[in-house]
Chain A
Amino acid sequence: MRELYTVALAGNPNCGKTSLFNALTKMHQSVGNWTGVTVEKKTGLYHKNKRIQIIDLPGIYSLSPYSLEEKIARDYLIKQKPDLIINIIDSLNLERSLNLTLQLLDLGLKVVLALNMKDELQKKNITLDTQKIEDALSVKAVAISAAKKTNLTLLMDIVWKELSTPKEKKLFKYSEELEKEIRKVQKKYNIDRFFAIKLLENDLEIKKTLNLENQDLKLVNLQDQFFLYRNKKAECIASKALNKSLNKSITHKIDKVMTNKYLAFPIFFFIIWLIYFFSVQLAGKYILTLMEGALEELINLIKTRLTLPVWAEGLLTEGVIRGMGTVLSFLPQIVILFFFIALLESSGYMARVAFIMDRLFYKIGLSGHSFIPMILGCGCSVPAIMSTKTIKDFSQKKMTIILTPFVPCSAKLPVFALFIAAFFPNNSLVAPSMYLLGILTVILVSLILKRTKPFINPKGSFIMELPPYRIPLVTNVFMSIWQKSKDFLTKAGSIILVSSISIWFLSNFNYKLEMVEAKYSLLASIGHLLSPIFIPLGFGDWRAAVAILSGTIAKETIISAFSVLLGASGHNLILSLKEMFSPHAAYSFMAFTLLCFPCVSALAATKKEMGSNKWLLTAMTIQFSTAYAVSYLIYNIGGLVLYNIWFITIPLFFVIVFMVGHFIYKRLYYRR
């Protein structure tokens, strides 16, 4: 007997897979990523028999992959070959679910069917004859309810029995004519039955896997025949097994309201407002103030009670505790955000959001799913970027993550307020112009990005199922919150902590490692070094560069950085700023603050959702160059209007910036 058996859960999206996984593994589960991508990989041990390891595959419609998730699921099944597949079937959608079952049987692995939604069938007075399905497919089938936890032990007993007995060679047979073709191909290339079938279905990925992509195989394309045969067979089995057909009138009635021409948007905006209010306003502001108070107390306590060397005290209070404070202050927001997201996703409303918003976004290469992150971005980019988890299409997800920080978050507002008080005290249009600038940049950059290679959506079309409305399961919601918060604390938390300590170090030490005032620190030296870069933008002063650098820890830090470096606060700070910036340079600085890459916390979230350093760097590069280009235009056009000195240099610089930008895009991303 072996130590550990692997059992994969496979089924359509929304078939109750997560519920079954949670019920079978309880707390014995871990969440990671599939190698190289940010699609969640959940594994766990069966809580009654730790020798069964359960892997939750992403929801799939078929074994001819269309999305990244389906590709991952198929690759796992054909390369890792689990000992058994539990195929979860949505009994309310029996026919289509069986379509996938037939393809799973082609793999030649052990399969047990779990016919889910037993309770809902009973409610509708429909009987499901599992024997008929077992006879037709010669596999074991159990009717279960993952939500009510009925028959789960029975299911796992059957799984265990199947695991301990050798596999019987019974396959699902296609028509005689198709079988003949399958045998021919199998013999010719010496491959498994599944590969032969997919070759006959003209599956390009499989051709690649078999290293046959460059050869003309001269095979008949039997794609339609295979699909039709499976569809017919599934229809036939389903009609025999169910005593009457279903109707989902409740979903239809809810949809009449939720996607109604006039009500859809008000309802949607109300729901978004609720999420925004609770996660950004309430948790983000109220709890944050409470936590900051507690943090100050703690720092005071350390300063008064402990006698530490100056550097150790600084490291502890300014570096470690502040860093941890930042991490913890995001936690309430994230818990509440994921509470709502779990509710929206498992109730079925999230799919409706994409449906009603699609028209607004597809012209700029995004879909309705991108709307929620953009709105949340007005509060804070961290939860906004975390909420892109709901975007299934990877290229759209990446674009949304890059674009979301262009929306002015609440931490940037104090910076704008200070600059407006200093330079534009009587102009009420400056503050709204920041929002307008943010939105325009989102549209402009997405129009450019959508034409570049990694963001081109080859399928480019919107085919989506609107799942029936369901009441979310409490355990699933809490499981999701627990996993995502834990994930944020461990992955993003460590990055935030390390950067907080580094910035503290840089701003308190010089290159001889002596503790010095901020204006003689390493950070100031870096500021001196970087400041020439900002001359074309109108703020070549080294203190502006240092302020921007400290702004990476949190955008509102820009104010305290100016206040420390200029040795002034309140009205004096405004006067000193007026000496440093001309009005149009000040506006250019505001635009730069708005558009340049976000704070480390948001960057940590970006890294987590993008899944790699390469993508984090790409995002930062795009954000930095956008900020640079926009500020450049603002400063120089402002200069042209005000002074006319830059008249000749503008076109010149414009051409150079455009050429460099174009070259970089072409080099890095442009297809062919």
Chain B
Amino acid sequence: MAKKTLERLKKGVIGKVIDIKCPNTIKKRLMDMGLCLGAKIEYIGKAPLGDPLLFKVKEILLALRKKVAKDIIVEI
């Protein structure tokens, strides 16, 4: 079981969210949008200019800036 920050997740690999270290308002928002603790998350790709990143959580496409993704810890 390797731990990684979300922005370092590779394409096609599914990670499990184990910690969200973002400020509380952002953390709540992420959890409301489906990115809760324990959720399975997959990296889909990035915007043409490299940021934001695109993830799939439970069939929902979520776009996050790298800055936010760095504060989310996943387990592979």
Contacts and interface: CB of A to CB of B under 8 A. Distances in A.
Given A359-B47, A461-B26, A231 B63 contact: no
A227 B60 contact: no
A61 B54 contact: no
A248 interface: yes
Interface in B17-52: 22, 24-26, 28-34, 36-39, 44-45, 47-52
Interface in A197-254: 202, 223-224, 227-228, 231, 245-248, 251-252
B14 interface: no
Contacts of A265: 48
Most B CB contacts (10 A, CB to CB) among A92, A251, A355, A461 go to A461
B52 A202 contact: no
B59 A259 contact: no
Nearest to A466: B61
A356 interface: yes
Contacts of A464: 52, 62-63
Contacts of B59: 92-93, 245-248
A643 interface: no
A358 to B, nearest CB: 6
B68 A463 contact: yes
Interface residues of B, number: 34
A264 B26 contact: no
Given A96-B60, A362-B65, A463-B64, A66 B29 contact: yes
A462 B47 contact: no
A138 interface: no
A358 B48 contact: no
Nearest to A261: B48
B47 A355 contact: yes
A463 B26 contact: yes
Interface in A524-561: none
A359 B49 contact: yes
A64 interface: yes
B3 interface: no
Most A CB contacts (10 A, CB to CB) among B25, B29, B30, B45 go to B29
B63 A466 contact: yes
B58 interface: yes
A355 B45 CA distance: 12
Contacts of A176: none
B8 interface: no
Interface string A359-373: 110100000000000
A232 B46 CA distance: 30
A465 interface: yes
B65 A223 contact: no
A252 B14 CA distance: 17
Interface string A460-482: 01111111100000000000000
A355 B31 contact: no
Given A259-B47, A355-B47, A358-B47, A462 B63 contact: yes
B32 A61 contact: yes
A374 B62 CA distance: 26
B28 A223 contact: yes
Nearest to B29: A66
A69 interface: no
B63 A461 contact: no
Nearest to A63: B32
B36 A355 contact: no
Contacts of B63: 351, 355, 358, 462-466
Contacts of A231: 31, 36, 38-39
A255 B58 CA distance: 17
Given A259-B45, A360-B49, A462-B52, A228 B32 contact: no
B67 interface: yes
B58 A95 contact: yes
B33 A465 contact: yes
A260 B45 CA distance: 9
Nearest to A246: B59
A521 interface: no
Contact of A358 (B38, B44, B61, B65): B65
A64 B58 contact: no
11 contacts: A93-B58, A224-B37, A246-B59, A262-B48, A358-B63, A359-B50, A360-B49, A462-B63, A463-B29, A464-B52, A466-B63
Given A100-B32, A224-B37, A355-B54, 7 more contacts: A93-B59, A227-B28, A246-B59, A261-B48, A358-B51, A463-B62, A464-B62
Nearest 8 CB-CB pairs, A to B? A359-B49, A62-B32, A466-B61, A61-B32, A231-B36, A264-B48, A66-B29, A96-B34
